Homo-oligomer: A and B are copies of this chain.
Amino acid sequence: MTLILTFLGKGGTGRSTVAIAAAQKLSAVGKRVLLISQEAGPALSMLLGSEAGEAIGAKAAKVTLGSSSFQVVQLQTTVLLDENWEKLKSFEAQYLRDPFFKAVYGQELSVIPGMDDFLALNAIREYTESNQYDVIVHDGSGDQSSLRMWGAIGGIDWYFRRFKKVFQDSQFYRSISPFIGPITGAILSGGSSGDIWSRPETRSVESMVAKGKALVSDPMQLRAYVVTTADEVAIAQGKYLWSAAQQIGLSVTGAIVNSISPGQAETTGAFAPLPLTTLPYSVGGDRWQRLAQALPALTEPVSVPAAMSVDAANSTVKLFLPGFDKTQVKLTQYGPEVTVQAGDQRHNLSLPPALNGRSVTGAKFQDGYLIISFG
């Protein structure tokens, strides 16, 4: 199984530096490592140094730092867009009588907001499923927008489920239902589609979504580290991102304090109970090795509080939201699901069958935990 490591933190705290050092550390002990960068521009290449940096591109390439080697890829959205457009066209050609996407070339397509993250997420999925890597070190934007990406699987899944139900219940659906048969018959190759919700393609997407949701909440498949400096704004922003990550079910398993100038002040216990690692101020040729040595074990099982835990016997769900207080968290049950809103995010809880569909009867905040009771 591949473990994905990702890093959260304010810009300028050295997340890319920590990511490179992590890749170096893990490849030095024999792990097959892929470093995936989502940042466009020359920064990663310059950080890796002239020799290693030259190989960097949209295809995974080997770089050697010190005595160990790993693969690096700098995702390019235009390249991913072209590849996925070709896949979509061949999918279309297979199912539609008269494909119409085929008239459009991938190379024409503009990149609009959201595409970067959806295409990156899909690329990470493909690299994970290739079984070529023990560890994927992900160097993304590290802020709220990274959390949107990791939350996207749950979010999209919610939209499909919710709107499928609304659609099927609507008079709109009843109005157009006489036409659905003839239309699908006219456009799908092989004629009428039967129930589109039970077709094999629908089922395969459903199983992909279920796997993706399980991945995000399993710290042996995906874990985040908060990177900060001793600067108080960086620490506060790191704490915010820690909570915001937990809120969407992504476990943060440690905090890393990067020394970006010599003689930096000590950082206090802002991230308790997370294990905290302080990296030495490090420049020069052997900096990667020194940073790698100072990093904690990154792939071992961890004993930090889970982002979410369910106690079916007592009909309660506990969410660990360390940086929020009760005024910042809103719990609603407008639709069929329980929604937790905090940190400008909404998370529709994936509940076990025993609690699914039941009403919330109470909620309290205690020692950083939001404890929700079901009736």
B151–A110 contact, CB under 8 A? Answer: yes
A159–B110 contact, CB under 8 A? Answer: yes
B261–A112 contact, CB under 8 A? Answer: no
Chain B min CB distance to A93 (Å): 13
Least CB separation from A166: chain B residue: B103
Least CB separation from A101: chain B residue: B166
**CB interface residues, A 103-132, toward B, < 8 Å:** 103-105, 107-118
- Residues of chain B contacted by A46 (CB below 8 angstroms): 232-233, 236
Chain B min CB distance to A125 (Å): 14
Is A372 on the interface with B (CB-CB < 8 A)?
no
A interface, over-half SS: helix
B114–A117 contact, CB under 8 A? Answer: yes
**CB interface residues, A 27-60, toward B, < 8 Å:** 39-43, 46-47
- Residues of chain B contacted by A76 (CB below 8 angstroms): 344
User: Interface code A231-258, partner B: CB below 8 Å = 1, 0 otherwise?
Assistant: 0110011001100100000000000000
- Residues of chain B contacted by A186 (CB below 8 angstroms): 175-176
A346–B171 contact, CB under 8 A? Answer: no
Least CB separation from A163: chain B residue: B104
Task: Show 26 residue pairs from A and B whose CB-CB distance is below 8 angstroms, ordered by the A residue.
Answer: A10-B12, A10-B43, A11-B11, A41-B241, A42-B233, A47-B233, A78-B341, A78-B346, A97-B171, A98-B171, A98-B175, A100-B172, A104-B162, A108-B332, A110-B347, A111-B148, A112-B151, A112-B156, A113-B116, A113-B118, A113-B145, A114-B117, A141-B141, A141-B145, A179-B182, A261-B261
**Complex A-B, nearest 10 residue pairs according to Cβ-Cβ distance, in ascending order:** A12-B12, A11-B11, A114-B114, A110-B155, A113-B117, A98-B171, A100-B170, A41-B240, A105-B334, A175-B186
Contact surface of A with B, Cβ cutoff 8 Å? 10-13, 39-43, 46-47, 76-78, 96-101, 103-105, 107-118, 141, 143-145, 148-149, 151-152, 154-156, 158-159, 162-163, 166-167, 169-173, 175-176, 179, 182-183, 186-187, 232-233, 236-237, 240-241, 244, 261, 332, 334-335, 337, 339, 341, 343-348
